[in-house]
Amino acid sequence: MSGTTTQGPQETRIFAPSAAFAAQAAVAGMDAYNALCAEAAADYEGFWARLAKEHLDWQTPFTRTLNEDNAPFYQWFEDGKLNVSYNCLDRNLQNGNADKTAIIFEADDGTATHVSYRQLHEKVCKFANGLKARGIKKGDRVIIYMSMSVEGVAAMQACARIGATHSVVFGGFSAKSLQERIIDAGAVAVITADEQLRGGKRLPLKAIVDEALGLGGCDSVKDVIVYRRTGGDIAFKAGRDLWLHELVDGQSADCEPEWVEAEHPLFILYTSGSTGTPKGVQHASGGYLLWAALTMKWSFDIKPSDVYWCTADIGWVTGHSYIAYGPTAVGATQVVFEGIPTYPHAGRFWETVAKHKVSIFYTAPTAIRSLIKASDVDPKVHPKNFDLSSLRLLGSVGEPINPEAWMWYYTQVGGEKCPIVDTFWQTETGGHMITPLPGATPMVPGSCTLPLPGIMTAIVDESGQDVPNGQGGILVVKRPWPSMIRTIWNNPERFKTSYFPEELGGKMYLAGDGAIRNKDTGYFTITGRIDDVLNVSGHRMGTMEIESALVANPLVAEAAVVGKPDDTTGESICAFVVLKQARPTGDEAKKLALELRNWVAKEIGPIAKPKEIRFGDNLPKTRSGKIMRRLLRVLAKGESITQDVSTLENPAILEQLKETS
Ligand code: WTA
């Protein structure tokens, strides 16, 4: 474990929430926050039991809150039964929200459609009955490979309703990545769309599913269910493929929910780690939904009158917790956006906020940074040209937000009146972990501030000992929490070694990030991953995966991939490649770099394309043959090497790898 920093955050600006915001907030002031923390500290299980009873509807109440007998395979609320879709939909029909808008679908072309809770419930019930009619049942796995749509959310909810475990695969992943996930999950069905519309372009989905299934090994898949989005021309395989509208036609609008145990796997979501293939992060039903719902109230201060908008895609965990499940569980009205931030112009986010009177807006720092740049180039797309007076809270997620981007977000978008919640969390944590509470915590740009009540985060050294504030270390969570990852699908051993390593005593959750706490405030600042995971535009990727993709190309002998700081995307991918043929230069190098970038797009997906490829005769290696990635990181940044290179077998190679060929 390396890469932790001992540099303290220098930021001294501090912004307290306004008195007006604090007065109406769910957690109003630091005293209220401290009281919740004290309650958790005094009676940890009692605290979570109270919240689980207050915020979820149980068909069978639980009597045991936490079972630690088989740690780190923790179980929460294990003898309780519930249904996630019942909690997200039926509850809203009973509590007066039936005609409230659940989803405002903002299509790529600017068309908006309102779907009420009653309509969403009906859609989900028909969908669920359709799945049942195909023989899909509790415990089956279903892959969802869809664009942003009401149907995408409904597909997830329909699986939850019948107790099928879904695994959503981001629509930007390649056929090969999709095939790997289908095989690992042992999926019985794939739900997809004919095509997706993004930025005015039609992009294939069904064709990629066909390709994935054609790669072989996917015999478990019996059905491919296709939502007609564009009406584009697609191939149909008789007996396997069916249209969603035909599947739901004539189905009953009622579907008795399948009551499942709290620990029943709601979903598997694949994410990257430092080694090997992507890991299928498995989440439970009860604990997960509790935290998705509760953080909507605590972190976002959601109120019945809010219009909430999270710009994430349902293919990522943010789209699970903060689109498909959290907002519906609390009966919110939310915008679901099909498009991209720069189409038809880079003011699209602000125009849409004004159009739907969005009051809570949640996006990623990479989007903010690219929109800052765009409005420098074209002042017409600057937020000041749009009526953003409806906004009352802003959120950030997915990567560290640099103080300049934070200040722009705060002043130019939020008009200095909206608190910003910089929410630190992960696919594995299920929901927010460290974040300001908008009516309580004084904010410091670039710091995610303090853990949520009940979340026992700490910073330790490599032997698991606490480090003092002001000294960087490894971020851990010392107690299990309800929405935590339950295991890695098909690989419980990997779950243990990845997240509960013996070096740290086997009981602390290892987040994989470095962090530091401010000496005076105790505030947390995340200093970045301590493993070989990159964060490009808020998308998580393992360097190993990209290296494996590159060496799978017949031209490539060896490859090493590192991250390079990037003004817009946070990090960018820089690949050092040794070919089987002589090292190319000039136009030949350009041509081959393009070929390899496209190759990676085909192997993993366009998000994994290296931004830069440098060719060498070799890679810097120790005498024992280990690639010195540390030096490659320095070279990628364009800095000169000041480290000791005496252990290097071939120091001359550094000169060659300094620049793009
Ligand atoms: C990073 C996304 C700093 C971090 C929800 C983490 C952040 C990884 C923040 C998880 C934040 C996420 N500040 N870093 N507010 N939020 N990260 O699984 O490195 O796609 O480990 O989950 O993103 O990415 P994932």
Q: 314: CA distance to ligand 1 center in Å? A: 16
How far is Cα 550 from Cα 627, in angstroms, rounded to an integer? Answer: 16
**Alpha-carbon distances of 82 from 44, 56, 262, rounded to whole Å:** 22, 9, 6
How far is Cα 221 from Cα 213, in angstroms, rounded to an integer? Answer: 8
Using the atom order of ligand 1, give the atom closest to the CA of residue 427.
18
Q: What is the pLDDT of residue 9?
A: 59
- Residue 8, domain member (yes or no): no
Q: What is the pLDDT of residue 373?
A: 96
Residue 535: its H or E element: strand 533-536
Per residue in 2-48, pLDDT tens?
A: 333 333 456 789 999 999 999 999 999 999 999 999 999 999 999 99
Dihedral pair phi/psi, residue 236, rounded to 5°: -130, 130
Range list of β-strands (E), 323-472: 333-337, 360-363, 393-397, 420-423, 457-460
| Percent of the chain clearing pLDDT 90 (strictly above) | 93
Q: Name residue 376's amino acid.
A: D
CATH number of 641's domain: 3.30.300.30
Q: 222 burial class (0-12, 13-18, 19+ CB within 10 angstroms)? A: middle
Q: 397: CA distance to ligand 1 center in Å? A: 7
Name the residue of 291, 424, 444, 483 whose CB sits within 8 Å of the most ligand 1 atoms, as the mutation to test its pocket: 424
- Residue 622, domain member (yes or no): yes
Using the atom order of ligand 1, give the atom closest to the CA of residue 448.
15
Mean pLDDT of 350-376: 97
| Percent of the chain clearing pLDDT 70 (strictly above) | 98
Mean pLDDT of 192-208: 97
**What SS3 state is found at 329?**
helix
Decide: 467 and 504 in contact? Cβ < 8 Å. Answer: no
Q: What is the pLDDT of residue 314?
A: 98
- Residue 552, domain member (yes or no): yes
Per residue in 520-548, pLDDT tens?
A: 999 999 999 999 999 999 899 999 999 99
* Nearest alpha carbon, ligand 1 atom 5: 426
The alpha carbon of 220 is separated from its chain's Cα centroid by a whole number of angstroms, namely: 27
Q: What is the pLDDT of residue 245?
A: 98
- Residue 631, domain member (yes or no): yes
Q: 529: CA distance to ligand 1 center in Å? A: 9
Sheet holding 420-423, edge to edge: 112-116, 101-106, 333-337, 307-310, 360-363, 393-397, 420-423
How far is Cα 586 from Cα 267, in angstroms, rounded to an integer? Answer: 48
Residue 265: its H or E element: strand 265-271
Spell out the residues 6+ positions from residue 372 whose beta carbon is closer than 8 angstroms to its own.
405, 408
User: Which is nearest to 243 in space by CA: 214, 222, 223?
Assistant: 223
Decide: 609 and 577 in contact? Cβ < 8 Å. Answer: no
Local confidence band at 661 (pLDDT 50, 70, 90 cut-offs):
low
Ligand 1 pocket, CB under 6 A: 271, 316-318, 397-400, 422-427, 448, 511-513, 526, 529, 535, 540
For residue 641, the 8-state DSSP code is P
**Residues facing 572 on adjacent strands:** 564
* Nearest alpha carbon, ligand 1 atom 1: 399
Q: What is the pLDDT of residue 470?
A: 95
Per residue in 273-287, pLDDT tens?
A: 877 789 999 999 999
For residue 293, pLDDT over 70 is answered with yes
Per residue in 432-472, pLDDT tens?
A: 999 999 999 999 999 999 999 999 999 999 999 999 999 99
What range defines the domain where residue 564 resides? 537-657
Three-state SS annotation for 57-79 = CCCECCCCCEECCCCCCCEECCC
Decide: 258 and 161 in contact? Cβ < 8 Å. Answer: yes
Per residue in 567-586, pLDDT tens?
A: 999 999 999 999 999 999 99
For residue 624, pLDDT over 90 is answered with no
Q: 659: CA distance to ligand 1 center in Å? A: 30
Token pair for residue 264?
A: 């029943």
Total Cβ atoms within 10 A of residue 344:
14
Tally the domains of the chain. 1
To which residue do tokens 């920093």 refer?
Answer: 5
Dihedral pair phi/psi, residue 601, rounded to 5°: -60, -40
- Residue 342, domain member (yes or no): no
Mean pLDDT of 366-387: 97
Cα angle for residues 148, 485, 62 (degrees, 5° grid)? 105
Per residue in 583-617, pLDDT tens?
A: 999 999 999 999 999 999 999 999 999 999 999 99
To which residue do tokens 């409904």 refer?
Answer: 154
Using the atom order of ligand 1, give the atom closest to the CA of residue 318.
5
Q: What is the pLDDT of residue 491?
A: 96
Binding residues for Mg(2+): 551, 556
- Residue 316, domain member (yes or no): no
Decide: 617 and 578 in contact? Cβ < 8 Å. Answer: yes
How long, in residues, is the chain? Answer: 661
Token pair for residue 421?
A: 């919640």
* Nearest alpha carbon, ligand 1 atom 4: 399
Q: 399: CA distance to ligand 1 center in Å? A: 5
Q: What is the mean pLDDT of the chain?
A: 96
Q: 658: CA distance to ligand 1 center in Å? A: 30
- Residue 224, domain member (yes or no): no
Token pair for residue 652?
A: 């001359």
- Residue 50, domain member (yes or no): no
**Alpha-carbon distances of 143 from 86, 168, 318, rounded to whole Å:** 21, 6, 18
How far is Cα 288 from Cα 431, in angstroms, rounded to an integer? Answer: 8
